[in-house]
């Protein structure tokens, strides 16, 4: 293996060798924490704060987040860790040598959506910061600033990621400080508004306390399930499962609910989850500047991790495999830049619906992967099969597609929407006892196992032994 390949493997979808996977638990944990902490934490907290008071909201959200993180780690983690591959590549044993395009599209759409939001937030925060500092010229407002700053942010992300995973790690070492700034903001709000916080009632709580509580848990689970798109590209830089287990749970799973407390507290007491709005109320203009700087840093760090994961995922496509890393990065960043420049306000208005629908698919995906790895294959994965693009390999299935996985995914999505409509929050069935994500993941996994035993294995497809 020559030096050039060792330094460029992290910019490909090739499997990384142990010698190239040199992130220890602290380095991995810092990178994950930097990726996890972003504006979406406030939004997640805000949604929970609509249904639950501070104490219950905090506990339900934290519990749900840790459960969601566990599901994601069990789904993509083992294959990514053992073979040094990303999340998209880990789906080839389940979806097939061509069917993996389905999870790849899910990953791309999810990450583009999230990163468009984050970089638009970054641009808005910076615009607000410039206004608070009095640095904006007369007549120049956010309508002019946001597109320009979004473009500049995309360019900065691009140049940082030219270094590949080391770019992610280096920027994380610096930006992780914002997590502590976030905790400081939480301390401010809790310490100065504690009496109001403990007595504040959620604005949209229904008459059924169990439904409200379960909804807080579901918000935590479904939010963390979206990390599936990011996880593989990050943890493949660590050498073993024992290196990654705790950093993932605490570095990626824990910061989200911790920083979401800012959103819960903010919306309950000050009717706004955005700390840049309420910190000015709590601590004056200087605190608002700090909050805005924090939001800018938080979103930038997460966008870097997301675009890196997305670029690695795109490398699985044969047409993009041979392109230079800089070109693949450009292709990855471009949709985010276009959204932020051309339609930022329209995207903002539709963003909640977009993400609610995207989140529906990750629960069944995790269920399918967990069932396949632990029940059907008992950990037996053929790495050559993952990189065999032909139809005769172990994961060739039928014309490269495993119908069992597709059916289980579709049925799972339908079940989720039946249990909890993510747009209207209308629920049915056992939702109030079980959430929507957990029964969906379980049912999709079970259906996948049954279909595989009944139809796939008897026909000798899928490389099952």
Partner 1 sequence: MDELESRLAALDSGAQQGDDFDARSWFWLAVLGVVVPAVLLVIGWYLG
Nearer to partner 1, 21 or 461 (CB): 21
For residue 135, give the 3-state DSSP assignment.
coil
Please report whether residue 5 would count as binding partner 1 according to CB under 8 A: yes
In angstroms, how far is the first alpha carbon of the chain from the final one? 33
Nearest-approach distance from CB 160 to partner 1, in angstroms: 25
At 207, give phi and psi (nearest 5°).
-75, -20
The secondary structure of 366-380 as a DSSP string is HHHHHIIIIIISTT-
14 interacts with partner 1 by CB under 8 A: yes
Euclidean distance between CA atoms 275 and 354, whole angstroms? 24
Q: Tokens standing for 199?
A: 């007595």
Taking CB under 8 A as the rule, does residue 73 contact partner 1?
Answer: yes
Site string for partner 1, 30-69 (x = CB under 8 A): -----------------------x-xx-xxx-xxx-xx-x
Any contact of residue 238 with partner 1 (CB under 8 A)?
yes
Beta bridge partners of 420: 427
Report the alpha-carbon angle 183-116-303, nearest 5: 50
**Does residue 203 interact with partner 1 by CB under 8 A?**
no
Contacts of 228 (CB under 8 A, 6+ apart): 72, 75, 76, 87, 107, 362, 365, 366
Least spacing, CB of residue 431 vs partner 1, in Å: 16
Using CB under 8 A as the binding rule, whether residue 399 contacts partner 1 is answered as no
* C-beta neighbour count of 298 within 10 angstroms: 30
- List the Cα angle 97/100/105 in 5-degree steps: 150
DSSP letter at 394? T
207 binds partner 1 per the rule CB under 8 A: no
CB of 44 to partner 1, least distance (A): 16
Of positions 10, 11, 21, 181, contacts partner 1 by CB under 8 A: 21
Residues 430-449 binding partner 1 (CB under 8 A) are: none
Contact segment (CB under 8 A) with partner 1 among 90-98, 235-243, 295-303, 306-314 equals 235-243
Measured between alpha carbons, how far is 309 from 282 in angstroms, rounded to an integer? Answer: 37
Least separation in angstroms between CB 5 and partner 1 = 6
Least distance CB 455 / partner 1 (angstroms): 28
1 contributes a contact to partner 1 by CB under 8 A: yes
Burial bucket for residue 405 (CB in 10 Å: 0-12, 13-18, 19+): buried
Please say which residue, 74 or 410, places its beta carbon nearer to partner 1.
Answer: 74
Q: The tokens of 238 are what?
A: 């660590």
For partner 1, the closer of residues 79 and 310 by Cβ is: 79
Q: Does 217 bind partner 1 (CB under 8 A)?
A: yes
What value does the CA radius of gyration of the chain take, rounded to a whole number of Å?
Answer: 22
Q: Which one of the spans 18-26, 91-99, 128-136, 181-189 is the region binding partner 1 (CB under 8 A)?
A: 18-26
Distance CA 71, CA 448 (A): 16
Residue 145: C-alpha distances to residues 136, 153, 280, 289 (Å): 9, 12, 22, 17
Least distance in Å: CB of 445 to partner 1? 16
* Residue 268 near partner 1 by CB under 8 A: no
Is 78 a binding residue for partner 1 by CB under 8 A? The answer is: yes
Binding residues for partner 1 (CB under 8 A):
1, 5, 9, 14-15, 17-19, 21, 53, 55-56, 58-60, 62-64, 66-67, 69-70, 73-74, 77-78, 81-84, 209, 213, 217, 238-242, 245-246, 249-250, 253, 379, 383-384, 387
């Amino acid at each position: 293996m020559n030096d050039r390949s060792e330094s460029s493997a992290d910019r490909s979808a090739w499997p990384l060798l142990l010698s190239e996977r040199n992130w220890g638990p602290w380095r991995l944990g810092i990178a994950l924490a930097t990726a996890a902490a972003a504006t979406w934490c406030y939004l997640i907290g805000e949604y929970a704060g609509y249904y639950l008071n501070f104490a219950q909201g905090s506990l339900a959200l934290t519990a749900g987040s840790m459960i969601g993180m566990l599901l994601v780690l069990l789904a993509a983690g083992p294959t990514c860790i053992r073979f040094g591959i990303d999340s998209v590549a880990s789906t080839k044993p389940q979806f097939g040598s061509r069917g993996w395009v389905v999870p790849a599209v899910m990953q791309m759409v999810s990450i583009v959506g999230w990163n468009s939001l984050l970089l638009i937030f970054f641009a808005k925060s910076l615009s607000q910061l410039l206004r608070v500092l009095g640095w904006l010229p007369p007549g120049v407002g956010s309508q002019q600033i946001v597109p320009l700053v979004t473009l500049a942010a995309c360019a900065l992300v691009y140049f940082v990621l030219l270094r590949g995973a080391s770019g992610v790690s280096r920027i994380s070492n610096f930006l992780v400080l914002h997590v502590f700034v976030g905790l400081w903001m939480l301390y401010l709000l809790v310490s100065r508004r504690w009496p109001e916080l403990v007595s504040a009632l959620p604005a949209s709580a229904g008459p059924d306390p169990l439904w409200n509580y379960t909804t807080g848990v579901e918000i935590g689970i479904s939010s963390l399930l979206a990390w599936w798109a990011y996880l593989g590209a990050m943890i493949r830089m660590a050498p073993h499962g024992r290196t990654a287990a705790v950093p993932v749970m605490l570095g990626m799973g824990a910061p989200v609910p911790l920083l979401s407390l800012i959103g819960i507290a903010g919306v309950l007491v000050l009717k706004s989850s955005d700390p840049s709005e309420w910190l000015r109320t709590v601590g004056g203009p200087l605190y608002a500047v700090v909050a805005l700087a924090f939001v800018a840093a938080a979103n930038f760090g997460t966008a870097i991790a997301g675009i890196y994961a997305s670029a690695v995922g795109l490398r699985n496509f044969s047409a993009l495999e041979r392109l230079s890393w800089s070109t693949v990065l450009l292709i990855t960043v471009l949709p985010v830049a276009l959204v932020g420049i051309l339609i930022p306000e329209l995207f903002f208005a539709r963003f909640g619906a977009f993400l609610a629908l995207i989140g529906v698919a990750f629960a069944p995906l995790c269920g399918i992967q967990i069932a396949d790895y632990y029940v059907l294959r008992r950990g037996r994965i053929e790495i050559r099969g993952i990189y065999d693009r032909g139809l005769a390999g172990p994961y060739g299935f039928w014309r490269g597609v495993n119908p069992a996985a597709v059916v289980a995914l579709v049925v799972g999505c339908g079940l989720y929407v039946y249990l909890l409509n993510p747009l209207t929050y209308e629920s049915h069935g056992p939702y109030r006892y079980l959430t929507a994500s957990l029964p969906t993941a379980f049912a999709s996994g079970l259906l996948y196992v049954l279909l595989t035993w009944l139809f796939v294995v008897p026909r000798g497809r899928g490389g099952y032994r």
